[in-house]
Amino acid sequence: MKWERLSAIRLIEELKSGSITSEEISAYFLDRIKKVDHILNSFITLNEKAVKEAEKIDKDKKGGRLAGLPIAIKDNITTKGIRTTCASRILENYVPPYDAEVISRIKREGGIIIGKTNMDEFAMGSSGENSGFGPTKNPRDLNRVPGGSSSGSAAAVAAGLAPLALGSDTGGSIRAPASFTGIVGLKPTYGAVSRFGLIAYANSLEQIGPMGKNVLDAAYLYSIIYGEDEKDSTSLPSPPLSIERISNFEAKGVKVAILTDLVSRVDEPVRKVFERGINYVSEIGAEVSEVKLEGIDLALPAYYVIACSEASSNLARYDGVRFGVDCRTNLSWRDAYKEVRKLFGKEVKVRIMLGAYALSAGFFEEYYVKAVKVRRKIREGLKKLLKRYDYIAIPTMPVLPWRIGEKLDDPLYVYLSDALTVPANLAGVPAISLPIGLADGLPVGIQFIADEFEEEKLFGLAKRFEEEAGELGVVDL
């Protein structure tokens, strides 16, 4: 039986009914990963204890809502006892002594952590090429990037190596790889999911989110992880989410706004498919309008200033003294720290330095303060739009997945590819990406954005859309 073809929800039904055991399913996927992943490089660490843990769940009959289903976790989410590297050499041997809150919630509902997935180092990147453990490949085309930074999680789901995965999204890191690999990924409202245990890149922008083959799978995983956490001062309470209401969502009459400014700037093949997507949106009964959002082109620079500034501070702790790679004590402390921090990859170094630059005396007003103002205006602008319209629809990515290594000499190209995803992070509103179809054999995703804490509404529209556009399914490797 090709279990990877079944949806996660279906697998859970099978598990609950007892027709399969957690041990069988975990062993199955673990096996598949070991056979296939050397092609993709989507996992950094496998949980060898997974099968034993699954056995225990079967024995204790403590199924929970995940019923013993294996889940892949992006390697910047802390897992107790399982190596957590953020795809960085500096954390090569770091085994955390505590679980992230989302991991606790998953375990409480009987989820099995099957392994930690590859990513751009410290979540800095949009392609999956910036990993200290080698790039991940796009299952849809092994010569191309899967998108980043949740590259491994996306590839794993798209290739059927795990039924569900967790990613994190700071500037598009869930949605971009979801779009490039043809799966579903949600960036929740800022504060909806606890960041306790998410190894920080840019605290005010990022959220952990679900990734799955289809909308309901992603929604199901979301329903397990979301909710306020007293250990995260920035988390907020969410209204209750109902999978049933999502399944029965009525899309007729909803108002969808397309940001024409942004759409006009995407590559031709992407725009063509996006237009098809808009037709689907009309087909399901929505009213489509074209709107302009002033100042949206300032979103990208504002994002990079804020993200890099926060990152430069967040990554200061990596000095080899309390955890991670060992620091040499026979050097003066500044040299000892420099020695350890040499292990950061190039992109990480770039962003740390840019962040320090933006925060330094003399440039603080030039960059940081301006970025904060732009951010405020974009948030106001988006929220205003989302009062008039139910959703905003734009492509997820302005380009098709490029060839691995092709853009190493053109970093600007990669930076600009975030243009469509960063506005939602700046504003703190939820956004989902799901496949429309293929362009030259490569997936193109559509992005829906809704107002804060309207995840259910977002999933609902996405569900109706998916029924029209269809799922891309898993790749047979």
Partner 1 sequence: MKGELEYLADLVLLELTREERREVAKRLKALKSVLKKLENVEVGEEPPFLPTLRLKLRKDEPKVFNVEELLSIVPKVKDRYVKGPKTI
Partner 2 sequence: MNDVKIGLEIHVQLVSLKTKLFCSCSADYRGKPPNTNVCPVCMGLPGTLPVLNEKAVEEAIKVAKALSANISNVSYFFRKNYFYPDLAKNFQITQYDKAGGIPFATGGYLKLSNGRRIRIRRMQLEEDPGRIYYEVGIQEAKYSLIDYNRHGVALIEIVTEPDIREPREAREFLEKLSGILEELGIPVGGYEGAIRCDANISLREGARVEVKNITGFSAVEKALSYEITRQRNLIKRGIKVERETRHWDERRRITASLRKKEMEEDYRYFPEPDLPPLIVRKDVLERIEGIVKPIEEVIKDYVKKYGVEEVIAERIARDRRLRTLFDRSVKNRPDLARHLASLLANEIPFLMKRKEIELPSNVKGLLIVAEARRDGLSRDEILKLLEDWLHGKEVIHHKATTLKEADLEDIVKKVTKKNPKVVEDAKKNPRALNYLMGLALREAKGVIDKKKLFDLLRRSLGL
Q: Which of 42, 149, 153, 417 is flagged as catalytic?
A: 149
Interatomic CA distance for residues 43 and 239, integer angstroms:
34
Interatomic CA distance for residues 81 and 53, integer angstroms:
13
According to the binding rule CB under 8 A, does residue 428 interact with partner 1? yes
Is 247 or 313 the residue whose CB approaches partner 1 more closely?
A: 313
| Residues of span 201-260 touching partner 2 by CB under 8 A | 202-204, 230-234
Residue 310 site contact among partner 1, partner 2, none (CB < 5 to 8 Å, cut-off depends on kind): partner 2
**Closest to 194 in 3D by CA, of 221, 160, 226, 242:** 226
Interatomic CA distance for residues 227 and 424, integer angstroms:
20
Q: Is 188 exposed, middle or buried (0-12, 13-18, 19+ CB in 10 A)?
A: buried
Residue 199 site contact among partner 1, partner 2, none (CB < 5 to 8 Å, cut-off depends on kind): partner 2
According to the binding rule CB under 8 A, does residue 325 interact with partner 1? yes
Q: Are residues 122 and 104 in contact, defined by beta-carbon separation less than 8 angstroms?
A: no
Q: Are strands 431-439 and 442-449 parallel, antiparallel or unpaired?
A: antiparallel
Binding segment for partner 2 among 136-144, 169-177, 354-362, 460-468 (CB under 8 A)? 354-362
Binding segment for partner 2 among 160-168, 363-371, 380-388, 451-459 (CB under 8 A)? 363-371
Tell me if residue 238 is catalytic: no
| The only residue of 67, 178, 199, 474 in contact with partner 2, by rule CB under 8 A | 199
Angle formed by the axes of helices 215-225 and 455-469, nearest 10°: 160
How far is CA 125 from its chain centroid?
12
Six token digits for residue 315: 């990554």
Query: Greatest CA span in the chain, whole angstroms?
Result: 70
**Closest to 254 in 3D by CA, of 292, 280, 281, 219:** 281
Residues 373-392: x where in contact with partner 1 by CB under 8 A, - otherwise, as a string? xxxx----------------
| The only residue of 145, 300, 386, 458 in contact with partner 1, by rule CB under 8 A | 300
3-state secondary structure of 258: strand
Residue 301 site contact among partner 2, partner 1, none (CB < 5 to 8 Å, cut-off depends on kind): partner 1
Q: How many residues bind partner 1 (CB under 8 A)?
A: 74
Q: Which of 74, 116, 187, 457 is flagged as catalytic?
A: 74
| The only residue of 288, 372, 438, 477 in contact with partner 1, by rule CB under 8 A | 372
Residue 200 site contact among partner 2, partner 1, none (CB < 5 to 8 Å, cut-off depends on kind): partner 2
According to the binding rule CB under 8 A, does residue 121 interact with partner 2? no
Residue 219 site contact among partner 2, partner 1, none (CB < 5 to 8 Å, cut-off depends on kind): none
* CA distances from residue 439 to 106, 278, 353 in whole angstroms, order as listed: 36, 15, 37
Is 13 or 297 the residue whose CB approaches partner 1 more closely?
A: 297
| The only residue of 369, 380, 403, 405 in contact with partner 2, by rule CB under 8 A | 369
Peptide bond into 149 cis (omega under 30): yes
| The only residue of 17, 97, 244, 253 in contact with partner 1, by rule CB under 8 A | 97
Tell me if residue 231 is catalytic: no
According to the binding rule CB under 8 A, does residue 233 interact with partner 1? yes
Tell me if residue 342 is catalytic: no
* CA distances from residue 74 to 166, 182, 184, 403 in whole angstroms, order as listed: 6, 18, 15, 23
- DSSP per-residue string spanning 67-117: TT-EEEEETTB-BTTB---TT-GGGTT---SS--HHHHHHHHTT-EEEEEE
Residue 309 site contact among partner 2, partner 1, none (CB < 5 to 8 Å, cut-off depends on kind): partner 2
| The only residue of 29, 133, 196, 465 in contact with partner 2, by rule CB under 8 A | 196
3-state secondary structure of 202: coil
| The only residue of 283, 370, 381, 473 in contact with partner 1, by rule CB under 8 A | 370
* CA distances from residue 472 to 95, 180, 271, 307, 444 in whole angstroms, order as listed: 36, 12, 19, 33, 11
Is 336 or 462 the residue whose CB approaches partner 1 more closely?
A: 336
Binding segment for partner 2 among 40-48, 254-262, 352-360, 467-475 (CB under 8 A)? 352-360
Interatomic CA distance for residues 25 and 244, integer angstroms:
26
What is the torsion angle, in degrees rounded to the nearest 10, for the CA atoms of residue 396, residue 398, residue 402 and residue 407? -120
CB of 405 to partner 2, least distance (A): 29
According to the binding rule CB under 8 A, does residue 140 interact with partner 1? no
| Residues of span 286-315 touching partner 2 by CB under 8 A | 309-310, 312-313
Positions marked catalytic: 74, 149, 173
Q: Which residues bind partner 2 (CB under 8 A)?
A: 77-78, 84, 86, 91, 94, 96-98, 100, 195-200, 202-204, 230-234, 309-310, 312-313, 316-317, 319, 321-323, 329-330, 333-334, 337, 356, 359-361, 364, 368-369
